[in-house]
Structure 1
C-alpha cells in the first residue's frame, strides 16, 4: 500500500502525461489526492518532499499527500507540508489533532504539527480542492494548460460539507456524490465564465468501481447501487471492480450525446493526449497506451484496442478482456476479502450474498464445491457475469490464457 512511509513509486525517468503537456508548452498542475509516494526511501514529512509531482512534469501541486482515509491528515503544496511549524514537527507515534470519522484510519500514527493539522478539515476538503482548481484555471486562462484534478470525493471517509448532508436518499455516501457533482459543476462553470469551454477538452472518469465498505453498505441498504447491475466491487476483476464512467466534453469536437462501445482504459490517456498536442512518442514510451483520440472525436469506427489486462487486488486473479470475452485466471473477483457485513474491507462471495448478486460459481456466500478454478464470461450476452461458461468454451479460455501469458512475458501490451 502507498501510504505515509512509501517513497515515490513512479520512476522520474518515465514519461508522464504532464511531461508530454509541459514539453508542448502547457502549464501543468495536479490538485487533489496524490497517493503515489514522496522522496527516496521514507518521506521526510518535516523537510522537502522530493521527488514528487514536480519531478514528474507538473509545475504545481496542492492536495492530499496519501489519501483522505490515512495519515498524515495535512495538505502538501509543491515540496512541503502546508502550515508546518518547524518548532512543532510531525511526530510518529503521536495522535493527530484531527476530526474522527468512521473509516478514517490510523489517527494515532502521526501527530504533532498542530497548525498544519488544523488547516485540514475533512468536511471542507472538497471545497478547498475545488477552490484551488478554480483559482489555478483562472490564473492560467491566457495560456494552454493541463489540470489533473483528483478529488477525494467519493473515497472514504465520506465527509460531505454540511450543506450537502441529508440531500440524498443514500446517506453520507450519496451526499458525498452530491458534493462531487457540485465540484464538477463549479469547474465547468469556471470554464464557461472564462470563455474557455469551447477550447478545452474535459474528461471525467474514475479509477475503480464502487466499494462495499461500511458507508457503501449503508448506501446499499438505502437502495443505492454503486455499480449498477455489474458484478462485484472495488479491486475485483469482475466488471463492478473496474468498469467506470468516462464522460468527455469538447464543444465542436466531441459530439454531444454520442456514445461508444470501444474498449478504452485510463492508461490510454497518455498516448491519446500526446496525439492531441502533437508530441511524438519514442520507442519504449507508453508501452500499454493506445491512441484513442479518433474514437473520442468520432472519426473512426475501427476497433483500436482489442484487449486489456485487468489487475485485481490479488495477483492470482489477473484477467484479460478480449472482444466480448472476459477471462479471469482464478476463482472469485480477487478483491477485498473481509467476510462479514459491517467490515470495512467486505468483499468476495459473502459480499455478493449481501448485495443479492448472482454468480454460477457461488451459492449462499460461498464457492460451490465444483466451481471451476478459472472463469470465462461473454459480456455481450452476460454483462452481469452471472454465468461462468469456461466449461462450455475451454478453447476460448485457453487461447486467452496464452495471450495473457504472452503479454506478461513481453512486459507490454502494445
Structure 2
C-alpha cells in the first residue's frame, strides 16, 4: 500500500527513502526555525499561492502547514503520476490471475498543487489544471490497459468516482480560472467543492464490468458508503448489524433502480439532507461564498429545493412547502441522532 504523507511516500507504514539521521517533523501551526516558506522566501517559488498554501516550500511549491527533515524521501511532484502507475502495474503482477483482489488506486490529479508530468505539460491549452486532467485520463487508461494485459478485465469490476465537486482556484495561482473558458466543471449545477449545494456533494460515479454491465444512466440515490456493504454482499460476506453502509449490488450492476430514500451529505463540516428528489439545507453561520469563489449553501434559515424540477437549485421552497420542510427536519434529526439540530440552534444563537 502506498500513500502520501505531506511531502513523502509512505508504503506499508514506512516512509520510502527516509534517512534515519534526518527524521521528519510536521506542525500545522508553527514553522520550524530556518525552514523556507512562501512568506519568508517568496523568491524560491515556481508556483505562486493564493490562499491557505503559504507554508513550507518543497520543490519550489509552498504547502499547507510546516515540515522539516526527510530530504532524501521528499517527492517530485511532476513524477508522481508515472510513479503510481508503475506501482499499480507492479502490484498487479503479484496477484495470481484467479486470486480475488481489491485495489484502491487514488489519483492525485486534479488536486492542487497541479504539476503535470513532462508528458502532459502544456498539452491541454487550458493550463496546469487542464494538463493534469489529461494526465488523470491517461492514468485510468493505463490501469485498464494493465488489466487487459493480464487477462483480468472480464472478471474485474472497475469503479471510478471522486470525493467532492469541482474547484478551479483551490489555493494556487495556476490560471485555472482564467483558462477555463466556457467550460463549466460543475455541469450547470450550483456550488462546487466546499458547498452543500448539489455540485459539491454530487460526484462522478461510473461502474464498469465488461460483458456484465450494459451501458446506461441511473438516477438512484446512493452513497459511496454503500460500496462497502454492496461489495461484501456481492462476494458473499456477512454484513454486521447497524452499518451506515447499505447493500445495493444490483443497482451498481445496472440490474435495479433501487436506492436510498434519504441520505445525509456533508461539506466542510456541515451536514444537509437529500430525501428523494428534495434537498434540504439547515441554517448555518458562515460565508455564502467561499474564498475559492464557490457558493457554500450556508444561510441563516432552512432552504429546500426540488432537484427534479429545479436541478440548479434556484428556487427555495421552504416557505411554499412548510409541511414537507417539517417532515424533512424530523428525518434529518433522526438520522443525525438529534445532535446536529442542537448544534445548529446553538450556533445560530451565538
User: Under TM normalisation by the shorter chain, which class is it?
Assistant: 0.7 to 0.9
Map Cα deviations across residues 129-187 of structure 1 (whole Å, 9 max, x no partner).
11111211122143211001111111111111122122213211111100000000000
Alpha-carbon distance between aligned partners in 2 of 1:220 and 1:375, rounded to the nearest angstrom:
33
- Deviation of the 1:220 alpha carbon: 6.2
Q: d(CA) in 2 for partners of 1:212 and 1:391? A: 34
Indicate the larger mover: 90-99 or 393-402.
Answer: 90-99
Alignment-derived partner of residue 128 in structure 1: 83
Please, which moves more after superposition, 174-183 or 244-253? Answer: 244-253
In 2, distance between residues paired with 1:333 and 1:231?
A: 18
Structure 1 CA distance for aligned equivalents of residues 288 and 213 of structure 2:
35
Cα distance between partner residues in 1 of 2:197 and 2:123: 31
For structure 2, list consecutive stretches of 5 or more residues without a partner in the other structure: 27-31, 38-43, 58-65, 340-350
1:55-101 residue CA offsets vs partner (Å, 9 max, x unmatched): xxxxxx11212xxxxx3x11111111111111222245153799853
Instruction: Report the equivalent of 1:8.
Output: none
Residue 238 of structure 2 corresponds to: 280
Whether contact under 8 Å (2:207, 2:253) holds in the other structure is: no
Give the 3 Å change call, closer, same or farther, for CA 293–145 of structure 1 in structure 2. same
Output the CA distance in 2 between the equivalents of 1:329 and 1:194. 50
* Cα separation, 1, equivalents of 2:250 and 2:80: 36
Pick from 106, 111, 126 the counterpart of residue 68 of structure 2: 111
Alpha-carbon shift at residue 289 of structure 1 (Å): 1.1
- Root-mean-square deviation (Å): 2.6
Matches within 5 A, 1:141-156: 141-142=96-97, 143-156=99-112
Any conservation in 2 of the 1:209–1:234 contact (CA below 8 Å)? yes
CA–CA distance in structure 2, aligned partners of residues 402 and 105 of structure 1: 43
Matched, 1:323 2:313: no
Deviation at 1:406, TM superposition (A): 0.7
Deviation digits for residues 296-322 of structure 1, max 9, x if unmatched?
A: 223323x3311110112143xx21111
In the alignment, which of 287, 292, 295 is matched to residue 348 of structure 1?
A: 295
Distance across 2 between alignment mates of 1:141 and 1:193: 13
1:335·1:348 contact (CA, 8 Å) conserved in 2?
yes
Matched, 1:407 2:348: no
Superposition map of 1:226-305 within 5 A: 226-255=185-214, 257-284=215-242, 287-301=243-257, 303-305=258-260
Unpaired stretches in structure 1, ≥5 consecutive residues: 1-60, 66-70, 339-344, 350-360, 362-366
TM, length-normalised to structure 2: 0.82
What is the rounded CA distance, in whole Å, between the counterparts of 1:83 and 1:328 in structure 2?
A: 47
**Pairs aligned (count):** 312
Q: 2:16 aligns with which of 82, 85, 89?
A: 82
Aligned counterpart in structure 2 of residue 394 of structure 1, from 310, 319, 322: 322
Counterpart mapping for 1:161-176 below 5 A = 161-176=117-132
Length-normalised TM-score, structure 1: 0.70
Distance (Å, rounded) in 2 between the aligned partners of 1:275 and 1:100: 49
CA shift for structure 1 position 197: 0.2
Equivalent residues of 1:232, 1:333 under 8 A apart: no
